[in-house]
Amino acid sequence: MMCAATLPKPSKQVKAYGQPTRGKTAPNRLRRVDVYVCLAHAELLSTPSGLVVDVGFGAQPYTTLEMAARWQAYNPTLRVLGVEIDPERVRAAQPYAMPPQLTFMLGGFNLADLIGAQTATIIRCYNVLRQYAEQDVQPALNALSKALREGGLLIEGTSTPSGGMAAFDVYRKQDGALVHQALVFATNFHQPDLPAEFQTILPKRLIHHMRDAAPVAFFAAWQRAFAIAQGMGIRSRRKQWIAAAEWLTENSDFVFDRRRRLIERGYLCLRTPLL
Ligand SMILES: C[S@@+](CC[C@H](N)C(=O)[O-])C[C@H]1O[C@@H](n2cnc3c(N)ncnc32)[C@H](O)[C@@H]1O
């Protein structure tokens, strides 16, 4: 365990890119994102001594600690780094550090300046960009991408306060550029108003575009798929979710990840970015 007042030194002393925002977080808030990666991208978690980064962990480091507990159970050699732009929050996290497997550092979206020659296998930046302006999103993603290794994933999204619902973009670094892979909707099935409630937690790049043609068409098709499932007398929310996903896959032009293990666990993974 480290001394509470000590911060690990970044490889270069440069100003962190971004600004501190509200630090609200909660235990298990990002469980659905952690589980998604295990179900959909386990091969990335197997990288020996791979580095995974949780950017903007908040006032308490729950999300980084839980990421470490879940993903290191899969691969104990994984190195987990929590990054925050607020120095007090980094100090508060230090008693939980277990270097070199779990560390916390002061930094911003310019992660590459922090980790130097290393590159990350997975970067998650969650419930962070929602507090920025829409025009800040792409520059922030581009900056984060510089710290990502070729083939690595960047996950950016928003959740409800408890984390029962989440919506996130998954990007892969290919030939040096970020390529959108999926827009993922995740639920623990406790919400009465699916899929409409997802419209309130869309990633920042989409939240102001709900009236654009593609999001309108997608949500109308998904709502119709739920209505058909309900009309068939399906009562359980999980079964409605699965039936709606099957209907959408077969009857709409939208393209989805068809893996049953994702759909049955409450993930709808849309292959198009909707914008
Ligand atoms: C709402 S909290 C999110 C906490 C956690 N990720 C979660 O989902 O529960 C957002 C945190 O991101 C931090 N933050 C904002 N901009 C940042 C940046 N550029 N780099 C690192 N952290 C940042 C804020 O200081 C704040 O603590």
User: Are 207 and 275 within 8 A, CB to CB?
Assistant: no
CB distance 45 to ligand 1 below 6 Å: no
Question: What is the C-alpha to C-alpha distance for residues 267 and 34, in angstroms, rounded to an integer?
Answer: 12
CB distance 28 to ligand 1 below 6 Å: no
Domain ranges of the chain: 31-187, 196-254
Sheet with 165-174, edge to edge strand ranges: 102-106, 79-84, 51-55, 120-126, 148-159, 165-174, 177-187, 267-270
pLDDT tens across 93-145, in order? 999 999 999 999 999 999 999 999 999 999 999 999 999 999 999 999 999 99
pLDDT tens across 181-230, in order? 999 999 999 998 899 999 999 999 999 999 999 999 999 999 999 999 99
pLDDT tens across 162-174, in order? 999 999 999 999 9
Average pLDDT, the chain: 95
- How large a percentage of the chain has pLDDT more than 90? 93
CB distance 109 to ligand 1 below 6 Å: yes
CB distance 247 to ligand 1 below 6 Å: no
Of ligand 1's listed atoms, the one at least distance from the Cα of 109 is: 19
Of the CA atoms within 13 Å of residue 32, those in its CB half-sphere come to: 27
Of ligand 1's listed atoms, the one at least distance from the Cα of 130 is: 1
According to the model, what pLDDT value does residue 12 have?
53
Residue type, 41: H
pLDDT tens across 34-73, in order? 999 999 999 999 999 999 999 999 999 999 999 999 999 9
User: Are 105 and 11 within 8 A, CB to CB?
Assistant: no
Evaluate if residue 154 carries a pLDDT over 50: yes
Ligand 1 center from residue 244 Cα (angstroms): 34
Does CATH number 3.40.50.150 belong to domain 31-187? yes
According to the model, what pLDDT value does residue 14 have?
85
Ligand 1 center from residue 110 Cα (angstroms): 14
Evaluate if residue 6 carries a pLDDT over 50: no
